[in-house]
Amino acid sequence: AQSVSQHNHHVILSEAASLELGCNYSYGGTVNLFWYVQYPGQHLQLLLKYFSGDPLVKGIKGFEAEFIKSKFSFNLRKPSVQWSDTAEYFCAVNAPNRDDKIIFGKGTRLHILP
Amino acid sequence: EAQVTQNPRYLITVTGKKLTVTCSQNMNHEYMSWYRQDPGLGLRQIYYSMNVEVTDKGDVPEGYKVSRKEKRNFPLILESPSPNQTSLYFCASSHWQRTNTEAFFGQGTRLTVV
C-alpha cells in the first residue's frame, strides 16, 4: 500500500529563516503529489501540486517543492519564512492509475517565531 | 463558488446519542471521503466513496457509518458516539481516476462527546 512519510513533526524557525520540510512516498508508479496547509483553526487548503512536467513546482505564498523521482521525495521549501506561515503542513500522494486514494502524511507543525 | 460544506461546525453531544454530520459538494466530484484529525496522528481516513452507492472503509471505520445516495452528499453517521470519537472531522471531495485532480476540504466539524 502507498504511504507518505513526513520526517519532521514539529519545526520551529525564526522569521526570515529558510525552510525545507521533507516528504517521501512509497509508491513506484505514476503519482500526483500535493502539499496542503492548515492555518490555525482552519481547514486544509492546497499549497501546491505536481501532476507532470517540470519537477520544480511553485505554489502560493512563495512556497515551492521539488519532485525527485529517484528519491521518491517531494520536499517543500521556502527561502524566507514569515510569522504568518505558522501552520500545519501535510504532504499527500495519490496514484491515479491505481486505487486513486489520496494518502496524507501525518503532518508537520511549523511554528515561526516573530 | 466551488466548495465543500460541512454542518455543523461545532457539536457537543452525549455518549450514545446518534448524530449525523452532513457534507455536500457542488463540483460534481465522484470521490468523497471523511477524515478525522487528532493531535500527533495527522489525518486518518474513516470512510470513502468512489461514486453513488459505492462506499468503502478507510483506516479507522469503527463506530462510523456513511451513505452515498446522491453524488453531492456524503453524510457521516455516528450511531452511538463515544468519548474516543471526540475529534476534528473533515470531509473532502475530488474527481475519481482523472490524472489532474486535487482534494477540496470542508471547513471541519469539531465534535465533543461527553
pLDDT tens, position by position, A46-101 = 999 998 889 999 999 999 999 999 999 999 999 999 999 999 999 999 876 666 67
Q: Which residue of A has its CA nearest to B34?
A: A102
Chain A residues touching residue B42 (CB < 8 angstroms):
90, 104-107
What is the C-alpha separation between A3 and A80, in angstroms, rounded? 29
- Per-residue pLDDT reduced to its tens digit, B60-101: 999 999 999 999 999 999 999 999 999 999 999 988 666 567
**A90 close contact with B: CB closer than 8 A:** yes
Beta carbons of B74 and B90 less than 8 angstroms apart: no
- Whether pLDDT at A32 is above 80: yes
Q: Which residue of A has its CA nearest to B105?
A: A44
Beta carbons of A85 and A61 less than 8 angstroms apart: yes
What is the rounded radius of gyration, in angstroms, for the C-alpha atoms of chain A?
A: 14
Grid cell for residue B12 = 457537543
